[in-house]
Amino acid sequence: MKHFATLLLVILFNSAIAQTKWTLDKAHTQVKFAAPHMMISEVEGEFRDFDATVVSTREDFDGSEIEFIAQVASINTDNERRDNHLKSDDFFNAEMYPELKFKGNLAKEGEEYFLIGDLTMRDMTKAVKFPVKYNGQINTNRGKKAGFKITGAVNRFDYGLKFDSTIETGGLVVGEDIVITANIELNEATEQ
């Protein structure tokens, strides 16, 4: 009887910490940003080459471990000249710092979710906390899917994106605060 109780505790403990790995459904995921331009409008762009893994131990994703990498050279604003400027040393310096990275967790605080961790651009790493909308899960004939929308803002000067030209009135050509929006669709990994 004692051995049965021990075996039961081991089974319960292992099932309580079972991990589920999730991967990006890249066809249904976008990683976008918007930057103020000349204090009167915004320019939008995206990263086209990125990847992420999510490891969850709970059905509601609370505490999930997240790693994300975007290739800076994949930046796209629908303007080749501007894209090349963003890849230059004035901004990301894609040649020297080819990856934008995030590593952290998804945390549930009450009924709200937050992405909390370290965001790295160039050689600067800063702690961030972005609100997340968890859109839920569904079962499909190809397996489980989960959806999220992440929004947040960072000050580009905190990450060494140093371009600081001004317009006649003194404002910046490219504003300081960059809004990040990511619509994420995950697939449960088929091999655990």
Q: How does pLDDT run across 95-106, given as a tens digit for each residue?
A: 999 999 999 999
Q: Residues in the chain with pLDDT < 50?
A: 7-9, 12, 14-16, 173, 192
Question: What is the per-residue pLDDT for 175?
Answer: 67
Give the pLDDT score at 177.
Answer: 83
Predicted confidence at residue 3, as pLDDT, reads 59
- Per-residue pLDDT, 8: 47
Question: Which burial class, exposed, middle or buried, applies to 43 when counting CB atoms under 10 A from its CB (0-12, 13-18, 19+)?
Answer: middle
Give the pLDDT confidence score for residue 1 in this predicted structure.
56
Locus of tokens 């021990």: 6
State the DSSP H helix or E strand holding residue 15, giving kind and residue range, or none if neither. helix 2-16
Q: Which letter does DSSP use for residue 123 in this model?
A: T
Bridge-based pairing state of the strands 75-76 and 50-56:
unpaired
pLDDT of 2 reads 60
Q: Map out the domains of the chain with their CATH numbers.
A: 20-188 (2.40.128.110)
Residues 121 and 174: their CA atoms lie apart, in Å, by 17
CA separation for the pair 126, 129 (Å, rounded): 10
The structure's pTM equals 0.84
Give me the pLDDT at residue 163, please. Answer: 56
What is the rounded average pLDDT for all residues in the chain? Answer: 87
